[in-house]
């Protein structure tokens, strides 16, 4: 799809902070723009030139007037052609970073705004890639994006995952599909930190595996040699399998999903650690309460829950949930043991999340040393002008 020379214009209101946009802010909200009848009629996913109120050009934005984020900055150059070649250039730059970081093609290739493709997530699993086009412009250009992705990376299978929360906000469907090649017939083994994870690319959560915790898994594994490990909200074995690879005596994985735990068991089997691995399906809060009543204690306890505070309205309730997680899990840690608490809620910043964790640990009657603070791995780069891109926090305590 080739951009036409004359694009419609979106103009900032006089009160809008054009300086922030020039400095890299990637989003333009509806209350920052002159939203006249012509602007409101722009089709979702179309392109427009963004101008200051005095007509000074700011660049090219993708438009969706049905969203609070009406404009997503694509290029500071108002003459740029947003087409397959432009997409390929972005993908090439992203690939160069990942190829330098990792010796195998298993990583997040595109991390949305931070890689210059707002709303787009692409995870790579060898010769298969999974795209989450969570913004309308990416859906419009999906054919070009698919072709560019195959051309730049050489992947033979490309899947569309339409399960991202942002798609509903953009007015997009929730229909998954195969864009190129074929979907894997079974879960794919992925090696990270010496552990084997089974990634279900068609039926699993998100794109099939969470690459963002890779470095935090590795740090936890350094603490795990010879220990008893409890991994709560384990998904497909995240921290538990990394701990086993690090020499843990045994690991118990807790999750509400039976299919996820079955994948965790298969991962443990493939890495030769099935005899040291156990699972327990059930609600995390109920299971931690039951373990405490049973007198169970562990040397390392990890809790990596889903986003309890996915947005600002949910923040207060989410922080209470994180505090409860900390209280219940701290009581399961042996003296001198380690507690790892994680949050993927971008609405709960590091200070708020740390405070909730410390309150919970204190309510459990424990005293903590904070020994390490982790974030998402470097294949999930942070865009400094967008706080939401720094969503992941991992706090490592010694109790």
Here the CATH number for the domain that contains residue 146 is 3.30.750.80
Please measure the distance between the N-terminal and C-terminal CA atoms of the chain and give it in whole angstroms.
57
Q: Which of 8-22, 213-227, 315-329 has the lowest mean pLDDT?
A: 8-22
pLDDT recorded at residue 19: 92
Q: Rounded mean pLDDT of 26-37?
A: 94
| Residue 159 included in any domain | yes
Q: What is the pLDDT of residue 348?
A: 94
Domain boundary among 132, 164, 180: 180
As a whole number, mean pLDDT of residues 150-177 equals 93
168 with 264, same domain: the answer is: no
In a domain, 1, yes or no: no
Do residue 231 and residue 112 come from a single domain?
A: no
Structure tokens at 129: 């890639």
Together in a domain, 340 and 215: yes
| Residue at a domain's end among 53, 75, 97 | 75
Residue 3 in any domain: the answer is: no
Determine the average pLDDT of the residues in 322-327. Answer: 98
* Predicted local distance difference test score (pLDDT) of residue 164: 84
Are residues 349 and 239 part of one domain?
yes
Same domain, 160 and 270: no
**Residue at a domain's end among 27, 52, 75:** 75
β-sheet bridge partners, residue 352: none
Q: Is the pLDDT of residue 3 over 70?
A: no
Q: Angle, nearest 10°, between helix axes 84-101 and 142-153?
A: 40
Q: Which residues are catalytic?
A: 344
Identify whether residues 228 and 307 lie together within a single domain: yes
The CATH code of the domain that includes 203 is 3.40.50.150
Rounded average pLDDT over 128-148: 97
Average pLDDT over residues 59-76: 95
In a domain, 2, yes or no: no
- The model carries a pTM of 0.94
Does residue 298 carry a pLDDT above 80? yes
More confident residue, 389 or 182: 182
Same domain, 251 and 284: yes
355 and 271, same structural domain?
Answer: yes
- 106: containing domain: 84-180
- SS3 at position 325: helix
Q: Is 363 found in the same domain as 225?
A: yes
User: In CATH, what number is assigned to the domain containing residue 14?
Assistant: 2.30.130.10
- 217 and 281 share one domain: yes
Is the pLDDT confidence value at 4 over 70?
A: no
Share the mean pLDDT of the chain. 95
Query: How many domains would you assign to the chain?
Result: 3
**Is the pLDDT score of 173 beyond 60?**
yes
Tens of pLDDT, residues 196-247 = 999 999 987 778 899 999 999 999 999 999 999 999 999 999 999 999 999 9
Element (H, E) at 120: strand 120-125
- Cα–Cα distance measured from residue 43 to residue 83, given in angstroms and rounded to the nearest whole number: 18
What is the per-residue pLDDT for 390?
Answer: 82
- Same domain? For 304 and 330 the reply is yes
Same domain for 171 and 261, yes or no, is no
Residue 4 resides in a domain: no
Question: Is 360 among the domain residues?
Answer: yes
């Amino acid at each position: 799809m080739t951009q036409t020379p004359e694009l419609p214009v979106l103009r900032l209101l006089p009160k809008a902070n054009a300086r922030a946009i020039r400095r890299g802010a990637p989003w333009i909200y509806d209350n920052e723009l002159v939203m006249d009848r012509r602007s409101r009629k722009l089709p979702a996913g179309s392109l427009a030139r963004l101008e200051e109120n005095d007509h000074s050009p700011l660049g090219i934005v993708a438009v969706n007037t049905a969203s609070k984020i009406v404009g997503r900055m694509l290029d500071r150059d108002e003459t740029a052609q947003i087409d397959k070649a432009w997409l390929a250039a972005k993908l090439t730059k992203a690939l160069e970073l990942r190829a330098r970081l990792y010796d195998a093609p298993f990583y997040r290739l595109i991390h949305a705004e931070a890689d210059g493709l707002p709303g787009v997530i692409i995870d790579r699993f060898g010769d298969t890639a999974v795209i989450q086009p969570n913004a309308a412009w990416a859906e419009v250009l999906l054919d070009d994006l698919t072709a560019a992705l195959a051309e730049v990376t050489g992947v033979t299978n490309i899947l569309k995952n339409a399960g991202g929360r942002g798609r509903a906000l953009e007015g997009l469907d929730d229909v998954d599909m195969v864009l190129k090649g074929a979907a894997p017939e079974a879960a794919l083994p992925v090696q990270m930190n010496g552990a084997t994870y089974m990634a279900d690319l068609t039926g699993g959560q998100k794109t099939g595996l969470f690459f963002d915790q890779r470095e935090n898994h590795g740090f936890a594994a350094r603490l795990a040699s010879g220990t008893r490990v409890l991994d709560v909200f384990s998904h497909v074995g995240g921290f538990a399998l990394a701990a086993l690879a690090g020499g843990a005596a045994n690991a118990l994985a807790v999750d509400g999903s039976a299919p996820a735990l079955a994948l965790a068991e298969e991962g443990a089997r493939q890495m030769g650690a099935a005899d040291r691995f156990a699972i327990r399906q059930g609600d995390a809060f109920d299971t931690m309460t039951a373990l405490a009543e049973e007198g169970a204690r562990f040397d390392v306890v990890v809790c990596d829950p889903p986003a309890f505070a996915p947005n600002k309205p949910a923040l207060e309730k989410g922080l209470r949930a994180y505090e409860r997680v900390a209280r219940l899990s701290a009581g399961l840690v042996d003296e001198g043991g380690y507690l790892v608490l994680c949050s993927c809620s971008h609405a709960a910043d590091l200070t708020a999340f740390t405070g909730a964790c410390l309150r919970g640990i204190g309510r459990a009657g424990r005293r903590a040393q904070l020994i390490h603070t982790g974030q998402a791995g470097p294949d999930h780069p942070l865009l400094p002008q967008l706080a939401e891109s720094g969503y992941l926090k991992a706090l490592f305590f010694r109790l």
